[in-house]
Structure 1
C-alpha cells in the first residue's frame, strides 16, 4: 500500500494552496476533506484532484451535516438535526439525507461526514448543540438512521460521529481536550446507544478527540487501542472504516505522534492534518505493521467501490428548488409559554442578540412587513417586542451561550415591553435562560425557518414541534 493513502488532507478554499493540494494528490493521498468554496469551485477542484491522483479512485469528503449551505454560499442551508428532532419525523430526516447526497455527489463529493449521533444533553456544549438530533438516544437513533438511509439512496457514504459520544462535555475539541466523565454502564445506555444500533448501516465511524476515563484514562478516543480496537472493533464488531476526527484540531498535541497512535489503534484514515507533507514523510520513516496497512487498503478500496455504485446526478437536477425546508419548518417550530400574535397595522419592535456571524434577519422581518406589520428596532419601549437570539455553534469559538452583558440587555428590554417573545433561531438554551412571556424555537436561522417564525406570529399556523432537549 502507498502509505500516503492513509492521509486525507483538508482543503480550505481561500486558504489552502491548490498547488499544494495537487501535489498531495500526485503523492497518493487517499482523499481530501473540503471546507468552503462555491459550487463551481468545489466541482472544479474535485475534478482536478482526481485527475492528478495515481489512484483509480480517491474519496472526496465534506462536513455537510446541514446540507451544503453550511459551507457553500450558493447552496441552501437545510434544517438542523435538532430541528428534525423537534419534528420527530423520519421522512424529513430521510429527505434531508437524500438531498444532501445528491447535491454533494453532483459536485464530486462522495462522502458526507454525517450524521452526528452525539446527544444534546449539555447546555454548555459549544460544538454539538443543533448538530444533534436531541437528548434522547432512541430519538437520535431513529432519525439518524433515516438520514443514513437517505444518504445511501442518494449514493453518498456516511460517517457516524463522534465516537464514543461528544455530547455531554463543555469543551470544544478544536481548542482543547474534552473529558467525558461517566461510567461504562452509563455510556452504554446513553452515549453509545445510537452507535450500537446504527453500526450495521455505517460506512465509517469517526473517533472523537475526547478523553473517556471509564474506557481509557490515558489516551483520547481517537488514539486509543482500548476504545477503537477493543471496544468498537472487537466488542461491538465494527469491521468497516474508522477515521480520526480532523488532526489539525488542538485537542491532541503533536499531530504526527497522534496520527501514528491512531493508526496503530485501528484507524484507517488520518484526516485533515495541519501539516500533511510532514505527516506523510514521518509515516514513511516508521515501521508500520503490514497487516494494518493491508486492512486500511482493503477498507479504502471497499469505500471507493461503494461510492461509485450510484451515478452522480447533474447539478441542475440535484439543486432543483424544493419546498423541503418550508415543510420541515412547520413541523419543527416549537412554542413554549404564551404566544405573541400580530395583525396588519400593528408594530413589532425587535432586538437582536448573540449575532456573532451577522446573520441577516431579513427573511423574518420582510415576511412580517409583507403582511402589513410595521417592524422597528427596539428603541427603549415597546408594546410588542421580539428578542431575536442568533447564537449557534461555531468551531474554535469555545462558547455558545449569551454573555452576561447580553442577558442583562435583554432583561432590561423585556421590562420595558408590554408583551414579549424570545425567538431562538439556533441554540435553544439561549432562550431557555431568559424570563420572557413566551419562547419560540426554530433551531435554524435559515430563510425558510425565519419565514415560518414570522408566519407563526401572524397566526398562519400553530407550531407542532416538541423540544428535543431539556432546558
Structure 2
C-alpha cells in the first residue's frame, strides 16, 4: 500500500497528544487540520474556567470532531482546579462514605464542570481495587479494597459523569491495585492467579462495561496469568482483544495510558509502542509530552502509516480504531443539549454544598472521648504538615493544606511544613494545641518516624491523616481518606466547630 492522505489522516485520528501553553501552538493547529483526533489537557494548559472553555473552542476551530480529554478524578487528581484543590472528594472518601447516590451526584457535578468547557472525555474513574496498601500510585484514588464496593461506586461514578454529557474512562485495565510499583517510573507486575483476578480486579471492569462506560484505559503492567508472553497490557493482544473485547464484550474506545511513562518507554521507542498498542487492540494513543514543534506527533503518525504499508498493522485494525475515536466525537456532538442543560457545577472552586457534604460524610475519627469534647480545637494551634513528594499522576497541582483551612477558622494558627530530611519544630509549648497532618504515613518511614516522635513529645496531639490510614496515633486521629480542598475544609470544620 502506498502513501495516501487517507491513511495519514487515519493515523492522526488515533493520537491524543498533550502540548505546552494556554493557547494552541501553531503545530497543534496544523495537526488538527491534518486530522489529529485528540488532545489532552494538563494543568500547564489551564488557568481558569473562561480560559479553559476558550482553549477547547480554539481546538475545535481546526477540527470540530477533536476528542478533548483531561484527568479530572476529584480528590488529589485534578487539572481544572489544580491551583486550589478539588471541590470534590476523591474515590476512597466516596467509598468510605458508602452512599452510591452521593458518588453519582459528585461525579455528575464534576461532569458539569467539564461540560461547561465542552470537554469530551474524562480519564476517570479509577476502578482499580487497591489490594496492596503499599501501592504508591493508586491508594486514595481507588474506591477501596473490596471488589463489590469498588464496582458499585464505579458504576455510580460513570453514570453520574456521563449523565452530564461527558464520556467516562474506567482505568487502569486489567487492574493496577495489586502492585508496589508506580508505572510512571517502572514496569509493575501483578502476580495473582487468574481466579483471584476474576473475583477481584476484573469485577469493577465487568460492571463498568455493563454500565455502558464510553472508554477504558489500559494500564502499563504485566499480568502473567493473563498473558504468558509477559507483554504489558498496553501491548498485549491477549488482554486488550482476547479479554477486554472478546470476553468482557467491551465495544467502546480503548485508550492507552501515556506512552512516555517509563513502564513502557523503557521497552520501546514511542513509535513502536504506538504501533504495537494499536495492533493489540487500543484505539487511541495518549501522549502526555510532545516535542516543541510537534515533530514527535508527526513521527508517530508516520510510524503508524508505515506499519500499515508494511503489513505489521492491518489496515482494517487502524480503520476500526479511528472509527471508534470518530464515533465518540460524534456522540459528544449529539450530547450538546445534555451539556447545555447541565450548566456549570454548583460549588465550583469554593467547594461549598455537595463537595463539602461528601467529604464530611467520609471523615472517621478515633480517640474522641465524647461529644462534649468538641470542638477539638478551641484556640489557634501549631499545625505541622508532613507530605511526601507527590506522584507524577498528581502533576503540577498545588498542595492542599489542612492547616490553611484551620487557619481560616482560627486566625493566629501557625503553619510549619516539614519535608523529607527535615526536622520537627519546637513542640514544648503545651499552651498551644498541636495538629500533625500526614499523608500515607504507613507507607513513608520518615513520616512515621517523625509522627511517632511528635506524639511522644505531645500525647495531646491531634493527628490528621489525608491518605490511606494506618495505625491511629495521638489523642485524636482524624482520617479524611483524601487530599482534596473539600476534604481539608471538612477536616478543619470538624476540628473547630461545635457539632
Query: How far did residue 110 of structure 1 move?
Result: 1.5
Q: 1:127 to 1:355 in 2, by over 3 A?
A: closer
Decide whether the 8 Å contact of 1:407 with 1:434 is kept in 2.
Answer: no
**1:242 and 2:275 aligned:** no
SS in 2 for 1:285: helix
**1:325 and 2:331 aligned:** no
Query: How far did residue 237 of structure 1 move?
Result: 1.6
Q: 1:446 to 1:8 in 2, by over 3 A?
A: closer
**1:205 and 2:216 aligned:** yes
SS in 2 for 1:133: coil
**1:87 and 2:108 aligned:** no
Deviations 1:39-65 (A, max 9, x none): 233222212221112xx5121111111
Decide whether the 8 Å contact of 2:235 with 2:273 is kept in 1.
Answer: yes
Deviations 1:356-398 (A, max 9, x none): 465434543235416xx96676632236432111469xxxxxx
| Unmatched segments (≥5 aa) in structure 2 | 1-5, 290-295, 390-397, 417-424
Q: Cα RMSD (Å) of the superposition?
A: 2.8
Match of 1:335 in 2: 365
TM-score, scaled relative to structure 2: 0.82
Match of 1:397 in 2: none
Deviations 1:415-438 (A, max 9, x none): 11141231012x124xx1564344
SS in 2 for 1:308: helix
Match of 1:284 in 2: 305
Deviations 1:288-313 (A, max 9, x none): 31221232233123212221232265
The number of equivalent residue pairs is: 445
Decide whether the 8 Å contact of 2:76 with 2:483 is kept in 1.
Answer: no
| Aligned residue among 406, 431, 438 for 1:389 | 438
SS in 1 for 2:50: helix
Decide whether the 8 Å contact of 1:114 with 1:158 is kept in 2.
Answer: yes
Deviations 1:154-182 (A, max 9, x none): 00111111000001111111111111110
Alignment of 1:455-466 (within 5 A): 455-458=493-496, 460-461=498-499
Match of 1:30 in 2: 37
Q: 1:418 to 1:224 in 2, by over 3 A?
A: closer
SS in 2 for 1:419: coil
Decide whether the 8 Å contact of 2:171 with 2:218 is kept in 1.
Answer: yes
Match of 1:296 in 2: 321
Write the distance in 1 (CA, Å) between the matches of 2:497 and 2:322: 58
Decide whether the 8 Å contact of 1:68 with 1:76 is kept in 2.
Answer: yes
Decide whether the 8 Å contact of 1:348 with 1:385 is kept in 2.
Answer: yes
Alignment of 1:224-373 (within 5 A): 224-253=236-265, 254-272=269-287, 274=289, 275-287=296-308, 288-311=313-336, 313=339, 317-321=343-347, 323-338=353-368, 341-342=374-375, 346=379, 348-354=381-387, 356=389, 358-369=399-410
| Aligned residue among 175, 178, 184 for 2:188 | 178
Write the distance in 2 (CA, Å) between the matches of 1:172 and 1:111: 24
Write the distance in 2 (CA, Å) between the matches of 1:316 and 1:102: 6
Match of 2:15 in 1: 7
Q: Which moved more, 1:154-163 or 1:229-238?
A: 229-238
| Unmatched segments (≥5 aa) in structure 1 | 393-399, 462-471
Decide whether the 8 Å contact of 2:164 with 2:342 is kept in 1.
Answer: no
Match of 2:419 in 1: none
Deviations 1:193-238 (A, max 9, x none): 1111221222111111000011113200011011111111112222
Q: Which moved more, 1:146-155 or 1:438-447?
A: 438-447
Write the distance in 1 (CA, Å) between the matches of 2:36 and 2:288: 12
**1:50 and 2:60 aligned:** yes
SS in 2 for 1:350: strand
Query: How far did residue 317 of structure 1 move?
Result: 3.9
Decide whether the 8 Å contact of 1:67 with 1:100 is kept in 2.
Answer: no
Write the distance in 2 (CA, Å) between the matches of 1:346 and 1:67: 29
SS in 2 for 1:352: strand
Deviations 1:308-360 (A, max 9, x none): 23226569940443501121122110123446744675463332211646543
Query: How far did residue 69 of structure 1 move?
Result: 7.8
